[in-house]
């Protein structure tokens, strides 16, 4: 039902023939979910540029439109008089799209997909997703800023921290539950906000809602979801808790409306994204959008900045780059929800946040999708906590981190340092894209299994037992760039051979 | 004889036909070593899950059973009334198993195996073993926890320590013998406890017993041996010394019986494993056990945690996760053997161990098979010894390490730092799996040759001459995670070519 | 027109037949741009050696000559009486050169060249250039000194510095313009001097002049340009600003003439190269020049030092290796242009430069083309600035860096540390070589786009907002040489497999 | 003549037929250089084991014998009564050896060998040598101890040291000559001692003597040369200076004779090797000697230590492992030559050496051929010099280093730190093996060219100008072992693609 909010497709009064006449920049009609819309005047304002709409001028655009727009988008942004009404879809010529060789190969890969049980850890889901997802969807989810150094650093940073486990602690009964903003959760992670869930699964973010419910963890609803906010709230079950991630709109009235609506609908925390005054350049994403017909060498330079820039750029033009510390009191005034700043990256700003009276921060670099060579959340945590403790401020605020969490050992390291919990995003998207809800379920269960096991092995029976002395963080804030190699000497070196190689050499 | 403890296979009164009727969950009989057993009631309690038994319901299960259960297991754990008696094996239908293509390839590899003399160091045995072992056996021996970072770190950690050799020391006569817990040994290593020896060699751990005797080193008998404890003790020769590694059973009476039996049989040291309240997840091992028939996407989540988890999980459910410092006095009260804690990983716990009155510790992370990103034994040794010396405690306790030892230089480094000796496990398993006793013999001899040579080269005529100033340990406790690379720049770089390449370019 | 400064090729009075007679060391005439020259006496003085000229004795040498000599070279260096006058080119036999297989392949690659829009960053131009350029041209541009360690380090050094971005700064309006030596520029980079532009594009350096104008950045004119100095100055538009890079000639009168002519023509800054008393050995360049006919094993040793040494050695013999601090006052006396030292590499020399009264320095190692394992400009900057600030000298002089800049984040890092701007060389050469002016245009635009984006993400609305606390420079001056690996252990290790690989293993 | 010191091969009185009868352990005669010897009694004492001699019992052994024994060996070590006299070689059956396929391939490679001029640096000779040398010879020269970590570290250690060049120094006239033990040399390196020169070139070490003369550098004569000591001294020209490297014999009278003979023959320095009480295990070398016929699994263990151990073990059994500091005064008493200790590896031993009154030390680890993970000479130099300077001892002794020197920049780094010079060994062996004397000549000339160039670039007109402040040695003593990688995450990562790859993907 989510997938087709239109009415009976056989009874609309508009015909395909009529719509097909409006196929130009001068008069541009499109069909979405069995209804027609006049988008002529909207063309220049489309965040993704007019070109992509004009490709569907006079035609059915639903397939392209659906994964990247919540279903209520047209109601919200297109004046009612441009809603032309239902279309008799029988009269609309169906384009018979031939399957591309690439797509055929992908379908083959899907047939030979590994069983879900063959996934033993969160990286496995990523591997499978890369294998079966459509390329642009994979590119949107998996891409990072510039050279993707920060994106990868987020994960590898955890390996700079080593354990100092305690032995001979009674760990028969291990309790991995904890509290986040007052909510009891089964394990110290939450599903962090990620955009465009329908690129990975036709149902979109509600799949994550269901997974979060099953494992009693919190879901953070993204501003840029493919499902509408209300759809995602509607999907919650029982006393399931959700938070809202917020990109602040240039029009503060819209922002206010969103925040107060969320509070009214029971959302328990407001996470204001502060690391994205502009959404990042992600070249992997941009490349998959590259249109190799119609461009030419002449048409270059500054005038094409906003075109063909990948999904990220298309969906984010409303974000307000002037948002500043001055705005925080206003947010505190419009809602009773706890307010947290998502994307804090230096201790000075954590101290400012405490002064401001917000309730928490997420140390995050936006999954490595914004500023490249920005430091990982876990590294910033190692910078922040000793200073907070020194000043007695460690309990004034809740500190979360996200980015690169793949193993329960990663979660444990963050908790030892002093985090209240960690956000996990892409891994659940990949699990959902490859296997749907069962994938999300298994991914979460694997984390729980790993967590119980590793709590035992580090000698902690409950989350509060995780303390900084259980870590060796001497290298946590170091960065080792390997020096360029001496190619000629490396090539001249004749490596040692093994007995098997000796044998093969003889055959 | 060890391989078939059953009696004359032609005279049993039970027939295959009769047994074959009991082939279901409701009535499940199996044949092991020519005797039949009713395991119907035992099914739900089987640590490895009922599924693997049901596969053999009504049939001969010996081939699957033998390598992972000591021969006295059924006597110990199955009530006598379930022992149905000898089977006339002539009446049992022999399944003609067709050799898999994989097995055929392995047999070919065995035919082309390198000669034993082609192994010049301990890594060579590992290479050959990987080449000729059955995949599940290889996976069980070679696997580590999670990403196997700690497992590999164990070896590479030795390379962080560099030598500062002395010159012009008279090293004509080099003596590499030393004492461990009062026993004189020929070289400062012992054969540490490793499980399931029959996976590598049909005779199992007694092969190691014989090798240890030949080279006058101590063998530590594992709780999870494929041979029974008594078989391994029976295999010792002359005044050969053995130690016992102990997983503490939830039922302390069983533990007490094991300990006192060991003492009675002449075992000279008790090593209580303290780094494994639960046996680790080893994904390489788990993957080889993965059964790709019969599972499906629906059947996922928490309810299958204890199935198909590889050998490690199957054999360890009896281990007591509540074992704590409070239990140590009891151990000291039930035996006169020296007691050592195996798996200590931080200096605070070494100090506690001294307070407790135990006789030693093994700084170990269980061969990297338990908690990933736990530090190596050699690194912990570098943390521990200066603090012990500072407090004058260095002689209060014997310190051993294990994990990653592959070269005599590794042993020398541990001795310089202050260890009494090092445990070596996997390398002897691999030598045994590839070449049997001659392999173990050669592996030990190679270590002795390397040791004598390298004692000379570092300028030490006897083990006591090995002192901390012979090492440069500035980097011993550092961890260098290479920062993610800038892929595009690396690809754009056009490496220097050699004159030979220039030539090829021209052809 | 630049490509053929000769006159009507059909009317010269000299004939090919006559010229062809002068084809030996005793009498050597060559045709360049439709005019004949007697170079017999010049042969022994030719910086590139006589051999390359003799190859064209009696023939048309234009194709070889043009890319590496500015058009006014013969007027400047060959006495007028050796100018023999115009040639009737109709009488000159045209050598029909068969296209080499290598060249055919290159032409194929050019046909399949990626569209300009497919270049998303500066590395992309380098990749394309490597793909489509002639090998000797690529080798000259891309090569560095010895093992090219410094050349690569220049880029990777930026990755040792990490960001500490500020959040909640109003970055609606970002201004990336700045001033260099009093000139307002749109973005804090300049096009630094690089030699032999015509190797990459038949029009040479004037293409860069046009690009610099379009984006309002400064171009530094190289001494060793393929275009003449005046051609490059003539190509400037409006109030475009240019600087001059100077190799100091052994004959100071020539130097004086060059400097004063530049000042007269409006050049606004004089950059004296101080890191190249002799031009470097660049083996990649040397190898492409290697002539495999005619040499033999006997003819080796010291006597062939100055032959076949690549383009760099051929064009630089005039440079004065005796240039020293004593000469600086003289330079200050002959011009009113600000004088900067290009190639400073230690803080001591920056302090000397301030004492000397020069106006600035460029911290540079000549793009890694001179002394290998010399440090990167960004590293030296991190050494220099704290000491200048300590002594209150940071505003006494303008500090620039060059080398390895590829991303706007690199520029931002230099500005945060205290640089006035950065020089960028090779990337624009590669953009020009692959795509001509549109390539240069796009490369500059990409940097502007990246710069605006990243200023927002670091929380800086203008260049002055970039401060040292926005960086984590703990690792900026470190060098990590990875220790040689333990080959045998690495080969014995059996890496974890992914679910997809498990699948393939089964097929 | 050197290659055949025997007399007229047609006139001996012994016949092949007669000799052929003595083909067993009971009576074993062999022909060497046209003379017959009875080695029956010598068999058990042969350092390389009897087996290799018995292979030639009753036959001509010259081809195997010549490269690894100086021609005077038999005179020295076999009693005169075992010298049977000249053989009429016409009566000796010539074995027609079929060329092995491996050797045929090598001959093909030699035909296609790159021209000498294609070698631009010392690594190039190594690459060519590896390409054209016989495998056992290559293995002997190129091998190192154990995992060859120290061997490779020797070279890469130089890359931990970076330059801080001075600018604006008058470097018109660069003088790279210096003095070593009072001898003026053209460039601060000497040809260090390396064994078995005839493995690489039929003329052996005298080729190096000639090369050293041409470039006015000192040659250190090895104890284990293939040429006899006197042959090498005879080959010197003019006032060419040589040093002697000494392995101290268990029989001190032999040692005394060697030393005093050397002094009498004009040798100017005695370098006593102190890092090799036993020659190292070099597995690459051992593997090429591995005889795959005739060995079997039974014959293993300690009893085959001294067989098939490669060339190194075979030639070194006479070395005295009891040599100690007590022996040094004796050495000082038997010769007036300056005495240096070769193979010092810690500052404590340098201080002892000064106390002892020796004239110098070579900081060396024997080219990485002895103790693996011993530190590089350049690292030890960085440890030693500051302490010597602190104590005012820097001029009490001459300090040399060897190991890993491949570039003039390496030499300059050692000189900046305070070395008097560096030894270079393998590179000249490789140059000689590939190209004979012209190769050695070019290798030395390349170093001179690099040296002059790089002196200019660092801003030093003469060797004395090289000072510690010209280096950044912050990382000189660090060791970075890269932590094991997270394989799964690395494989899941989808690297950025270049525009060319994008293109290929489309084709």
Give the DSSP H/E element, type plus range, for residue A233.
Answer: helix A229-234
List b or e across B336-373, with b for residues whose CB sees 16 or more CB atoms inside 10 angstroms: ebbbbbbbbbbbebbbbbbebebbbbbbbbbbbbbbbb
Residue in C294, C346, C474 to test binding to D, most D beta-carbons within 10 Å = C346
Over range A340-349, report the average pLDDT: 98
Contact D483/A at CB under 8 A: yes
Contact C229/B at CB under 8 A: no
Q: Evaluate if residue D290 carries a pLDDT over 60.
A: no
pLDDT confidence bin for B312, thresholds 50/70/90: low
Residues 13-72 of A with CB under 8 A from B: none
The distance from CA B129 to its chain's CA centroid, rounded to whole angstroms, is: 15
Rounded CA separation C40/C24 (Å): 8
Over range C293-311, report the average pLDDT: 37
- Helices and strands (H, E) in chain D, number of each type: 20, 16
Check: CB of residue B269 under 8 Å from CB of residue B420. no
Over range C122-149, report the average pLDDT: 94
Q: Considering only CB atoms, which chain C residues are within 8 Å of D407?
A: 146-147, 372
- For residue C409, what is the nearest residue in chain A, using CA coordinates? A372
Over range C198-210, report the average pLDDT: 96
Domains and their CATH numbers in chain A:
16-91 (3.10.120.10), 139-287+313-472 (3.20.20.70)
Q: Considering only CB atoms, which chain C residues are within 8 Å of D435?
A: 297
Measured between CB atoms, which of B114, B120, B371 is closest to A165?
B371
ipTM of the complex: 0.90
* Yes or no, beta carbons of A292 and C149 under 8 Å apart: no
Share of chain A above pLDDT 70, in %: 92
* Residues B437-448 pLDDT 10s: 999 999 999 999
Measured between CB atoms, which of A124, A287, A488 is closest to D123?
A488
Q: Considering only CB atoms, which chain A residues are within 8 Å of B328?
A: 168
Measured between CB atoms, which of A155, A283, A483 is closest to D496?
A283
pLDDT confidence bin for D311, thresholds 50/70/90: low
pLDDT, position B327 = 97
- For residue C151, what is the nearest residue in chain B, using CA coordinates? B493
Rounded CA separation C51/C58 (Å): 14
Q: Considering only CB atoms, which chain A residues are within 8 Å of B486?
A: 147, 149
* Yes or no, beta carbons of D147 and C489 under 8 Å apart: yes
* Yes or no, beta carbons of A321 and C456 under 8 Å apart: yes
Check: CB of residue C345 under 8 Å from CB of residue D164. yes
Chain C nearest C-alpha distance from B293 (Å): 13
pLDDT, position B26 = 92
Q: Considering only CB atoms, which chain C residues are within 8 Å of D171?
A: 277-278, 321-322
- Rank C267-271, D11-15, D50-54 by mean pLDDT and report only the highest: C267-271
* Yes or no, beta carbons of B115 and D292 under 8 Å apart: yes
pLDDT confidence bin for A462, thresholds 50/70/90: very high
Residues linked to residue D178 through DSSP beta bridges, in sequence order: D185
pLDDT, position A428 = 98
Q: How many CB pairs under 8 A join A and B?
A: 184
Over range C273-280, report the average pLDDT: 91
Residues 377-436 of C with CB under 8 A from D: none
Tokens of A112: 């030979």
Check: CB of residue A444 under 8 Å from CB of residue A346. no
A102: left (phi over 0), alpha (psi -120 to 50) or beta: alpha
pLDDT confidence bin for A68, thresholds 50/70/90: confident
Over range D330-335, report the average pLDDT: 98
Classify strands B183-185 and B178-180 as parallel, antiparallel or unpaired: antiparallel
- For residue B167, what is the nearest residue in chain D, using CA coordinates? D274
* Yes or no, beta carbons of C346 and D165 under 8 Å apart: yes
Q: Evaluate if residue A43 carries a pLDDT over 70.
A: yes
Place of tokens 């005879």: D234
pTM of the complete model: 0.91
Q: How many CB pairs under 8 A join A and C?
A: 179
Measured between CB atoms, which of D159, D442, D456 is closest to C373?
D159
Q: How many CB pairs under 8 A join C and D?
A: 184
Q: Evaluate if residue B13 carries a pLDDT over 90.
A: no
The distance from CA A196 to its chain's CA centroid, rounded to whole angstroms, is: 8
Q: Evaluate if residue C86 carries a pLDDT over 70.
A: yes
* Yes or no, beta carbons of D489 and A121 under 8 Å apart: no
Residues 354-373 of A with CB under 8 A from C: 370-373
* Residues C175-189 pLDDT 10s: 999 999 999 999 999
Catalytic one of B33, B366, B402, B465? B366
DSSP string, C343-398: EE-SHHHHHHHHHHT-SEEEE--TTTTSSTTBPPHHHHHHHHHHHHHHTT-TTSSE
When the pLDDT of each residue in chain A is averaged and rounded to a whole number, the result is: 89
Q: Evaluate if residue B5 carries a pLDDT over 50.
A: no
Q: Evaluate if residue D271 carries a pLDDT over 50.
A: yes
The answer to which of A178-182, A233-237, A489-493, B120-124 has the lowest mean pLDDT is A489-493
Classify strands C360-363 and D35-38 as parallel, antiparallel or unpaired: unpaired
Please name which of B172, B221, B189, B195 lies closest in space to residue B282, comparing C-alpha atoms. B195
Chain C nearest C-alpha distance from B278 (Å): 22
* Yes or no, beta carbons of A373 and C475 under 8 Å apart: no
Chain D nearest C-alpha distance from C496 (Å): 7
Over range B28-36, report the average pLDDT: 91
Tokens of A430: 């990949």
CA max distance for chain A: 83
pLDDT, position C285 = 84
* Yes or no, beta carbons of A494 and D142 under 8 Å apart: yes
Check: CB of residue B401 under 8 Å from CB of residue B377. yes
Distances (CA, A) of A270 to A220, A366, A369, D310: 9, 16, 21, 73
Please name which of A367, A449, A371 lies closest in space to residue A411, comparing C-alpha atoms. A449
Q: Considering only CB atoms, which chain A residues are within 8 Å of D494?
A: 130, 138, 142, 284
Measured between CB atoms, which of B112, B352, B481 is closest to A503?
B112
Classify strands A35-38 and A29-32 as parallel, antiparallel or unpaired: antiparallel
Please name which of A485, A246, C412, B25 lies closest in space to residue D155, comparing C-alpha atoms. A485
* Residues D159-192 pLDDT 10s: 999 999 999 999 999 999 999 999 999 999 999 9
pLDDT confidence bin for B315, thresholds 50/70/90: low
pLDDT, position D506 = 47
pLDDT, position D294 = 32
Over range D26-51, report the average pLDDT: 86
- For residue C435, what is the nearest residue in chain A, using CA coordinates? A297
Residue in A109, A119, A300 to test binding to C, most C beta-carbons within 10 Å = A300
Chain C nearest C-alpha distance from B123 (Å): 6
D271 three-state secondary structure? strand
Tokens of C30: 């060559």
Give the DSSP H/E element, type plus range, for residue A402.
Answer: strand A398-402
pLDDT, position A2 = 37
Place of tokens 């005529």: B461
Q: How many CB atoms lie within 10 A of CB D395?
A: 9
Tokens of A241: 């808790």
* Residues C369-425 pLDDT 10s: 999 999 999 999 999 999 999 999 999 999 999 999 999 999 999 999 999 999 999
Chain A nearest C-alpha distance from D414 (Å): 19
Please name which of A192, A337, A176, A347 lies closest in space to residue A267, comparing C-alpha atoms. A337
Q: How many CB atoms lie within 10 A of CB C15?
A: 15
Chain C nearest C-alpha distance from D341 (Å): 28
Contact B213/D at CB under 8 A: no
Check: CB of residue B383 under 8 Å from CB of residue B372. no
Distances (CA, A) of D210 to D39, D215, D218: 35, 9, 11
Contact B305/D at CB under 8 A: no
* Yes or no, beta carbons of D138 and A494 under 8 Å apart: yes
pLDDT confidence bin for C504, thresholds 50/70/90: low
pLDDT, position C390 = 97
Q: Considering only CB atoms, which chain B residues are within 8 Å of C152?
A: 493
Chain D nearest C-alpha distance from A329 (Å): 41
Rounded CA separation A130/A117 (Å): 17
* Residues C1-45 pLDDT 10s: 333 444 577 777 889 899 999 999 999 999 998 999 999 988 887
pLDDT, position B1 = 33
* Yes or no, beta carbons of A142 and D494 under 8 Å apart: yes
Place of tokens 């440890």: D383
When the pLDDT of each residue in chain C is averaged and rounded to a whole number, the result is: 89
Chain B nearest C-alpha distance from A387 (Å): 24
pLDDT, position D140 = 92
């Amino acid at each position: 039902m989510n997938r087709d909010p239109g009415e009976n497709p056989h009874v609309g009064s508009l015909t395909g023939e009529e719509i097909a006449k409006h196929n130009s920049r001068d008069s541009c009609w499109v069909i979405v979910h069995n209804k027609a819309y006049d988008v002529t005047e909207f063309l220049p304002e489309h965040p993704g540029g007019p070109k992509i709409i004009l490709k569907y001028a006079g035609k059915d655009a639903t397939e392209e439109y659906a994964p990247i727009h919540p279903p209520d988008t047209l109601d919200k942004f297109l004046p009612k008089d441009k809603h032309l009404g239902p279309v008799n879809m029988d009269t609309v010529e169906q384009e018979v799209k031939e399957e591309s060789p690439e797509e055929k190969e992908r379908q083959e890969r899907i047939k030979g997909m590994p069983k879900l049980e063959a996934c033993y850890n969160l990286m496995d889901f990523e591997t499978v997703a890369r294998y079966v997802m459509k390329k642009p969807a994979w590119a949107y989810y998996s891409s990072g800023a510039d050279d993707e150094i920060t994106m990868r650093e987020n994960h590898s940073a955890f390996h700079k921290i080593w354990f100092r486990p305690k032995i001979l602690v009674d760990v028969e009964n291990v309790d991995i539950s904890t509290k986040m903003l007052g909510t009891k959760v089964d394990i110290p992670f939450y599903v962090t906000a990620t955009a465009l869930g329908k690129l990975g699964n036709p149902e979109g973010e509600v799949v994550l809602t269901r997974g979060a419910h099953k494992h009693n963890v919190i879901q953070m609803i993204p501003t840029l979801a493919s499902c509408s906010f209300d759809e995602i709230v509607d999907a919650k079950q029982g006393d399931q808790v959700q938070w809202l991630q917020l990109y602040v709109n240039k029009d503060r009235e819209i922002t206010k409306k969103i925040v107060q609506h969320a509070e009214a609908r029971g959302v328990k925390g407001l996470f204001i994204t502060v690391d994205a005054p502009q959404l990042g350049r992600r070249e992997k994403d941009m490349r998959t959008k590259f249109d190799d017909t119609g461009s030419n060498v002449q048409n270059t330079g500054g005038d094409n900045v906003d075109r063909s820039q990948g999904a990220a750029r298309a969906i984010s033009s409303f974000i307000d780059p002037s948002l500043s510390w001055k705005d925080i009191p206003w947010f505190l005034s419009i809602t009773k929800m706890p307010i947290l700043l998502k994307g804090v990256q230096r201790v000075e700003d954590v101290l400012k946040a405490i002064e401001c009276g917000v309730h928490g921060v997420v140390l995050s670099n936006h999954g490595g999708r914004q500023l490249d060579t920005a430091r990982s959340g876990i590294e910033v945590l190692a910078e922040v906590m000793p200073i907070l403790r020194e000043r007695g401020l460690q309990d004034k605020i809740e500190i979360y981190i996200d980015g690169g969490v793949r193993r329960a050992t990663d979660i444990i390291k963050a908790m030892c340092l002093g985090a209240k919990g960690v956000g996990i995003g892409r891994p659940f998207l990949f699990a959902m894209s490859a296997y749907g809800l069962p994938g999300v379920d298994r991914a979460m269960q694997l984390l729980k299994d790993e967590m119980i096991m590793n709590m035992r092995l580090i000698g902690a029976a409950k989350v509060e037992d995780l303390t900084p002395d259980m870590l060796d963080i001497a290298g946590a804030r170091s960065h080792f760039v390997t020096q360029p190699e001496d190619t000629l000497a490396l090539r001249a070196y004749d490596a040692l051979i093994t007995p098997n190689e000796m044998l093969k050499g003889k055959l």
